[in-house]
Amino acid sequence: MIRFFSLFLIATIMVIGWSAPVFSITPIPQESGFSGFINVGLGGVSVESNMVAGNSILDVSKKSIDSIFDSPNSESDVLPVLNGELAYTFGSTRTQIYIGNSFEDFIRFESASLAGLRQELGDKSILAISYVFSGIATEVWEDPYVQGQERIKTDRDISGLRLGYDKILGTDFELEFTWRSIDLDDERSGRTQLVPGGTLTSAEAGLMNRNGDSYEIEVLYPFRFEQDKHILAPALTYTRFNLDGDAMANDRYQAQVTYFYTGDVFDVAANLLYTFADYDETNPIYQEKREDDTYGGSLALFYKNLFDVQKLSLVGTIAGFKSDANIDFYDTSVSLFTLSFLYRF
């Protein structure tokens, strides 16, 4: 699932913070030519999760667990930071093509990449359309519900389409819709021990299937003060996970607020969010319908013009949050810090 990893969404601020004012759709430069950014650094992450294994770079979950009724243990790892975007603008037509990925997606282990087009309209609003695909695939457990022996990793790939509309009808409202197809190479939830052991039937194991589609819509409005020196941007998001397993399918409702301060030497960004997830059907393993509450925040500091190099910044970020489920096995938490060099061109 995509929003199963919604705990990582607080890292959105590290995307928003690259430029002021706050936009999800990057403003199109006035002149033709190449533009973009690159962000490189290192950090540390501590994760508690029974579902996410990590990716080809990180391991954030134990291969073997003692019980499928316990909360997860904590795992720590070094967090490399490497992401960026390359764009080319056609100034005369106010059109921009781009390819890249976001730090937000990297931190939540999505590693999603985008390739698409932005078009500025006559009223200065911007339309954007992009293809969403996996850069580095997320690794999950093909059967998370195995105890007393090592679990096996499998790749979870995403692909889909994102549509965005910014400065709607001359206002600061922004609307974004994302559809994603979610595909696990091997989905074997409950079939390693629980079905052979008679705990689940094959049909009940099918209720745990994590393949399917997600549909997400977000609306955002930035409030600006003192000529954009202070920006407060609340956002509301609804996500439908239409998954093959009814016990894993869910509706998610998220409220998020971002604060951004622009100074002469430093920029400061802070982010808070809360998410509630309501699942469709009773989980056949735990005989309970799952609900999740996710909450957390992040703080990022940008030291600008590092080494007197214009557009080079040193970025330090700390973040922490927790997803609290009514079923202990699905509890998840993460804390992280990163230090990176950000260069815009």
Q: What is the 3-state secondary structure (H, E, C) of 71-82?
A: CCCEEEEEEEEE
Mean pLDDT in residue range 191-211: 98
CA–CA distances in Å: residue 299 to residues 57, 81, 168, 236, 272: 24, 17, 29, 20, 9
Between these two residues, 212 and 14, which has the higher pLDDT value? Answer: 212
**What does the pLDDT read at residue 28?**
85
pLDDT value of position 110: 52
1 pLDDT above the threshold of 80:
no
Report the percent of the chain where pLDDT is more than 70. Answer: 89
Q: What is the DSSP string of 108-174?
A: TT--EEEEEEEEE-TTS-EEEEEEEEESSPEEEESSS---SS---EEEEEEEEEEEEEESGGGSS-E
Write out pLDDT tens, residues 16-35: 333 333 445 567 888 999 99
Angle among Cα 262, 265, 270 to the nearest 5 degrees reads 40
Q: Residue 111 — very low, low, confident or very high, per pLDDT cuts 50/70/90?
A: low
pLDDT higher than 70, residue 263: yes
What average pLDDT does the segment 60-66 reach?
Answer: 91
Q: Which of 175, 181, 170 is nearest to 128 (CA)?
A: 175
Residue 186: pLDDT over 80: yes
Q: How far is CA 68 from CA 20, 79, 195, 331, 335, in A?
A: 46, 27, 14, 12, 23
For the chain, the domains span 3-344
The mean pLDDT value for 300-317 works out to 93
- What pTM was computed for the model? 0.89
Of 5-14, 132-141, 178-187, give the range with the top mean pLDDT.
178-187
Note the pLDDT of residue 252.
Answer: 96
* 278-290: average pLDDT: 98
Q: How far is CA 138 from the centre of its chain?
A: 12
pLDDT value at 56 more than 50? yes
What dotted CATH number matches 3-344?
A: 2.40.160
- 140 or 101: which carries more pLDDT confidence? 140
Residue 193 has pLDDT above 70, yes or no: yes
| Residue 106 in this model has a pLDDT that exceeds 70 | no
DSSP state of 60: -
Q: Which residue has the tokens 């904590």?
A: 74
Q: How far apart are CA 14 and CA 103, in angstroms?
A: 7
pLDDT band, residue 103 (cuts 50/70/90): very low
**Average per-residue pLDDT in the chain?**
87
Contact 324, 6 (CB under 8 A): no
Q: What is the pLDDT of residue 182?
A: 95
DSSP notation for 241-306:
EEESSTTT-EEEEEEEEEEEEE-SSEEEEEEEEEEEEEEEEEETTTTEEEEEEEEEEEEEEEE-SG
Least confident of 11-25, 76-90, 193-207, 216-230: 11-25
Q: Are 110 and 136 in contact (CB under 8 A)?
A: no
The DSSP code for 330 is G
**If pLDDT is split at 50, 70 and 90, which confidence band does 276 have?**
very high
Q: What are the angstrom distances between the C-alpha of 21 and each of 120, 144, 169?
A: 17, 42, 18
